[in-house]
Amino acid sequence: MALSGRHLRVGCELWLPWANFTKEADGTVSANGVAIDLFNIVAEKLNFTYTIYRPSDQEWGREMPNGSFTGMIGMCQRKEVDVAIGPFVMAWDRYQAADYSTTIHFDQYGIILPRPRREVDLSGIAKPLSWEVWMSLGIAICISFLIGLVINALRKRYIVTGEYPSAEKIQASWLTKVMLAENVEPLPEAAPGRTYILTWMMGGFIIQAAYSGVLISLLVVPKVTVPVDSLQDLLSYGKIPWTIIAGSYLHNTFQKVKEGLYKEVLEDAIILTDYDENFLWSWLKRDKVALLTPVISVIKQMSDDYTLTGECNFYLAREGILSAPYALAFPKESDLIPHFNKWLNAQKESGIFSHSLLMETKNATACMVRPGKEGGHGLAALSFMDLSGIFFLFGIGIGISFIIFILEILVQKI
């Protein structure tokens, strides 16, 4: 066999879905994950055994001022391991300290944040019409009332009272009933009154149809505001703190930028140096923190969280940060690289690798939609949140009526 039973020292660190560590009942720790499965197949084909060593600083590898590297890249640089699983972004500075296998994956760095939710909107019942329409409607009602008062005043002066229809008084209640789609009884008989009410019947019908149609669409297809869809949004929004994992490719890249967006993002970021994977994701949900991380990690977490809770608690921003190829890392001039490349390429070409990634992230599909679109487009019962504005209106109306009642009592006593 190719490596004739050699025993390799392997660098590896926790990173889902690539590598995970599980403590067994007997106290031993076993490794699993997509990269571990990939590596195990190579180990079987090349006939070698291995022992995993985790970096003491939990980092992948960033360059220090003296040219040395932290994390697993540093372990390769010092030849403390024969190979590091990672996988690692094949960055130029890392090339100075380690060599790499063939590319096993190509991914983007993105922004994962707590999923935006629908908020209670007490003004929701006013949303079907713009403020210009509401203002114009109010002005039109006021003008109509004034015209009605003018007509009534002229009627008293120029028209003889009696049975003649033109003597009929225009009533403000007509306008109110028309706008609320109530019956107007008795109907006016005189031409001024008929023209007055007909005009508002036509306009009111159009306004009611437009209002009810838009309101139904807003209730059936709710709109959720997404405040962050890019790095610039994250910086401008200012209401969500963000974190970057220390020693990651993104951390290393941002450190090298002297000005601009990346530098501003890094200056305000929380650099995560020592963390537990489970704590990390619960922290993001509990304290509403955004994480800048590879997209595959986001999709894996979405899948696991949806499997566990049946809910979508995270959101992946639409705009990625940067793209990068991933590979295994080796000490410089390692003789293992050609042997590894043969079987790594074989797994990629056969579809084994892509299938493993798919199985690890298969339940994320339900959460890869825009906030507010979860669970398909089926009809659902309207919640209190949907109609909160109406209940608020009820409360205001009842409160005003009670105040008027108290005032009437006071007036009578005076």
Question: Tell me: the pLDDT tens digits for 320-345?
Answer: 888 888 999 999 989 899 999 998 98
Asked whether 122 and 49 are in contact (CB, 8 A), the reply is no
pLDDT at position 123:
67
Report for 106-115, 131-140, 180-189, 276-285: range of highest mean pLDDT: 106-115
For 13-16, the CB contacts below 8 A with 24+ separation are 13/54, 13/55, 13/58, 13/59, 13/60, 13/71, 13/72, 13/86, 14/54, 14/58, 14/277, 15/86, 15/297, 16/277, 16/297, 16/300, 16/301, 16/304
- Cα separations in angstroms, 281 against 293, 294, 314: 12, 14, 10
Name the token pair of 302: 């979405």
207 — pLDDT class (breaks 50, 70, 90)? confident
- Cα separations in angstroms, 20 against 105, 115, 123: 18, 25, 48
Report, as an integer, the average pLDDT of 9-27.
83
**Would the pLDDT of 83 be above 70?**
yes
Average pLDDT, the chain: 80
- Specify the higher pLDDT residue, 91 or 51: 51
Output DSSP code: residue 385.
Answer: T
Instruction: State the burial class of residue 361 (Cβ atoms within 10 Å of its Cβ: 0-12, 13-18, 19+).
Output: buried
Asked whether 327 and 149 are in contact (CB, 8 A), the reply is no
pLDDT digits (tens, 9 = 90+) for 211-246: 777 777 766 666 777 888 888 988 888 888 888 888
* In the chain, domain spans: 124-221
pLDDT digits (tens, 9 = 90+) for 344-374: 988 888 888 888 888 888 888 888 888 877 6
Name the token pair of 348: 């990629």
Residue 222: asked if its preceding bond is cis (omega within 30°), the reply is no
pLDDT at position 278:
67
Name the token pair of 8: 């390799």
Report, as an integer, the average pLDDT of 66-73.
89
Torsion of CA 32, 35, 39, 41, to 10 degrees: 80
Output DSSP code: residue 33.
Answer: S
Report, as an integer, the average pLDDT of 7-26.
85
Rounded to 10°, the helix 131-158/191-220 angle is 160
- Cα separations in angstroms, 34 against 16, 75, 104, 357: 8, 22, 11, 7
Asked whether 328 and 46 are in contact (CB, 8 A), the reply is no
Tell me the pTM: 0.65
Residue 325: asked if its preceding bond is cis (omega within 30°), the reply is no
- Cα separations in angstroms, 270 against 240, 266, 353: 11, 8, 33
Cite the beta strand spans of 309-406 per DSSP E. 314-316, 322-330
Q: Say which residues have a Cβ less than 8 Å from residue 138's Cβ, sequence separation at least 6.
A: none
